[in-house]
Each structure stands twice: as C-alpha cells, then as structure tokens.
Structure 1
Amino acid sequence: MSSHGSSAPRFRRPAPLFASVADSIPGDPDPATSSDLAHDSARALLDGVFHSADPEVVQRVLTLAADDGLTDLAALWSGAPATSLPGALWRLYVLHTWSQLNGEDMVRRYRAGSRTVPGLRYLSGFAEPPDVEQVHRTMDQILRGAFTGDLGLALRRAGAVATIVAHGTAHLADEDDEAHRTRQAERLLSTGEDLTAAGRHAEAGTLD
C-alpha cells in the first residue's frame, strides 16, 4: 500500500478494475443520475473484489487507495447519504487516505483520545500505544476487511478510530489552534458516528 513493506506495484490513474465499474462512470455524470451511479459503482467494486479469488486484485484496490486511483469513484460517492454503501465507502476512503498522509498526526490525536474513550480501543484494533507503522497496517487491514471480509465490522472499526481521534483532537485544542481543532474534532466525530451507523446497517443487511 504505501512504502511500509509492500512490494506491490504502485499505479497512478490506472485502468478500472472491473468493466462493470467502468461502465458506471461517465466523463461528467448527470446530477439526476449520480445517485444511481454512486450506488452501482460502489456495489460493483465491492462485489468484484469480494468474489475474486485472486489476492492480487485485493492488493491492487489497496494500492489504488494509496495512489489516488480511486479519486474519481470517491468524488462520485461523496454526495451519497452516510448510511448508504457509497457514502460509507467514501468516508472509509477519506479516513484511510488521511491516515496514510498524516500518520504521525493521527498517532498523536489517537493517543490523546484513547485516554478519553478507552472502551473503543479494542474495537479499533490499534496497539497501545500505536506508532505510525501500526496505524498504517491497521488502517490497511480495515480497508482490506471492508472488501474481503466483514464489511459491517470494518466500518465499525473505522468508526471507532475516527471517534477516538475526534476526542483526541478536542483534547489537543487547548494546546493548539482551539477554534480550528474544535471544528476538526466535530467533523471527525460526525465521521465516526456515520461509519458506526453504516456498520450497523451493513450487519443488518440494509446498507445499499
């Protein structure tokens, strides 16, 4: 995925993974049909990876997330409701991307937040205390799990991470730019709540 131990090739603006995904993405989506396109492309990507027996396909999705190869899809998913499949995958994609680009910052916020909401630490799956490499590995595992294992659990784990980091961000507001940190904490908490709710919908079979 990133430079931390993966030997998989890195792709920039690659060909789509599956024809069904490619067919769902026109050059400039009509707003009237963008919702259907978001849902169809999210389901096509998720199903395509989940039913693939080739581990290289899974690794390629992770590599795409690291190299902005999912940018077009993420843009299509960004307007979807939080408790829909494309909306949940967009939030997971954004959280994963931030963790890869700002690992040290996430570690600092996570460590501060884990003291406030210790009950979520076990669900997040981070070592205590995590380092940057642990953050990268765990977020990779969560993203991988969303496509190959238990989507509901993966989303709830991501929700736990976002919630812990939100509390840590609020705690650090006293040390940094308070207004800016407070806004960040609110956004992260909202993301955590959205991912947790989406995870519950996925477990109930109602995440579409």
Structure 2
Amino acid sequence: MPSSGSSPRFRRPAPLFPATAEAIPGEPDPSTSTDLAHDSAQALLDGVFHSSDPEVVDRVLHLAAADGLSDLAALWSGSPATTLPGALWRLYVLHTWVQRHGEDVVHRYRAGSRTIPGLRYLSGFAEPPDVRQVQRTMDDILRGAFTGNLGLALTRAGAVATIVAHGTAQLADEDREDDRTRQAERLLSTGEELAAAGRHAEAGTLG
C-alpha cells in the first residue's frame, strides 16, 4: 500500500470493478477512433446542453444503465483522461459503480471521509450519507456535467473517488486484503484523473 505522502502511478486507466473490463469489446480502428471518440462525446454534450427537454437529460443520465458500459467503452475508454471522451468515460464508470454498489460505496466513503474530511464538502455528500443520498448525489454530478459546469462536475467526481479510495485503503489495512489495496490504488488513480480533467475543463483545455 502506498504511503499517504505518495500517489501511485499506472500504465493505463483501470476499471473500478472487474465486470467492466469483461464487458469491453475490441478497440475500434486506431485511424478513426480518436476523432470518433471526440466527436461522439462533443455531440452528446452539446445535444444535452442545448436541449430544454428533461427527457433528453434523463436518457443521457441513464445511458450506461440502459445500454451498458460496453458501448461507451468501445468509443471512449482508450482516450486520455484530459480529453472530453476520456473524462466522460471515467465519470460514467464511477457513476455506474456507485449506482450498482451503493452500500459498499457508503461504507468506504464513511471510512475515507474521516481521513480527508476537507474533500467532503466538495463531493457534496451528506455526512454521514446513506445509500440513496450517495446515488442521488452522483446523479446530480453526472447531470451537472451535461447541463451545468463540466469542470465542477468532474472535480466533484474526483473528490468522491478520492475519498472512497482512502476509505478503501483504510479498510484494506484493517482487513489485510490485497484485493482492496489494488482497488484503492485504482480509485485513487481515477480520482486524480477526474480532478485533472476538471482543471482542464475549467481552463478550456480539455482535448
């Protein structure tokens, strides 16, 4: 387990749970994948942002739940975190994980919020949160990425992932579970990537 003064580095973004990796099909043609990823992400963002139809927003909010992460993975999972498709991919994966594993997330969040309480206010979760509050807050964050401030939404998602990462690490130390240690490292990496994407979005430099 890395010390509190260091941050792990990884060769590539890792999924938050094994089922995601199993759902990802082969990558598209490299000659077209970059443009396709960016164009599809931008079209989705623009389409929702300029729509006044709440049903459009709701469909995008539940896009991964309705169609699965595999379709999004085929388009976006290979994109760097500081690009629009890469940032939205990580946001959708985190959102899906929270929706599917709410009780586990709450357990980890409560442990992590005691370690780094300063991030609690940025995440927007109640303290102590319950499952429905956590899931509703992640809905709000994802909705905000499309209808409000993308940079703020990504920054809030990064705070959520970071808090849960610290909680996962704490529980791993208590239980001496190597699997949880690896999960903590992946979550921390995702949190850092989302925070970096948020900074780029605020600066107008999200690729």
Task: Determine if the TM-score, normalized by the shorter chain, exceeds 0.5.
Answer: yes
Note if contact 1:74-1:93 (Cα within 8 Å) is conserved in structure 2.
Answer: no
Q: Secondary structure at the match of 1:175?
A: helix
Deviation per CA, 1:99-155: give whole Å up to 9, x if none: 011000000000000000100000000000000000110000000000000000000
d(CA) in 2 for partners of 1:138, 1:203: 21
**Cα pair distance change 1:137/1:122, threshold 3 Å:** same
Report the Cα offset of residue 62 of structure 1.
1.3
Note if contact 1:113-1:164 (Cα within 8 Å) is conserved in structure 2.
Answer: yes
Alignment of 1:1-20 (within 5 A): none
Report the Cα offset of residue 73 of structure 1.
2.4
d(CA) in 2 for partners of 1:192, 1:154: 12
**Cα pair distance change 1:70/1:54, threshold 3 Å:** farther
Give the total of aligned pairs: 182
Unaligned runs of 5+ in 2: 1-26
Report the Cα offset of residue 74 of structure 1.
3.1
Report the Cα offset of residue 83 of structure 1.
0.6
1:39 and 2:49 are equivalent in the alignment: no
TM-score by length of 2: 0.84
Partner residue in 2 for 1:158: 157
Report the Cα offset of residue 55 of structure 1.
1.2
d(CA) in 1 for partners of 2:46, 2:198: 17
Note if contact 1:112-1:168 (Cα within 8 Å) is conserved in structure 2.
Answer: yes
Note if contact 2:169-2:181 (Cα within 8 Å) is conserved in structure 1.
Answer: yes
Note if contact 1:41-1:73 (Cα within 8 Å) is conserved in structure 2.
Answer: no
d(CA) in 2 for partners of 1:85, 1:49: 15
d(CA) in 2 for partners of 1:119, 1:68: 36
Note if contact 2:69-2:93 (Cα within 8 Å) is conserved in structure 1.
Answer: no
Note if contact 1:123-1:157 (Cα within 8 Å) is conserved in structure 2.
Answer: yes
d(CA) in 2 for partners of 1:177, 1:102: 21
Amino acid at match of 2:121: Y
The RMSD of aligned alpha carbons is: 1.5
TM-score by length of 1: 0.84
d(CA) in 2 for partners of 1:207, 1:56: 27
Partner residue in 1 for 2:183: 184
Identity %: 84
Partner residue in 1 for 2:197: 198
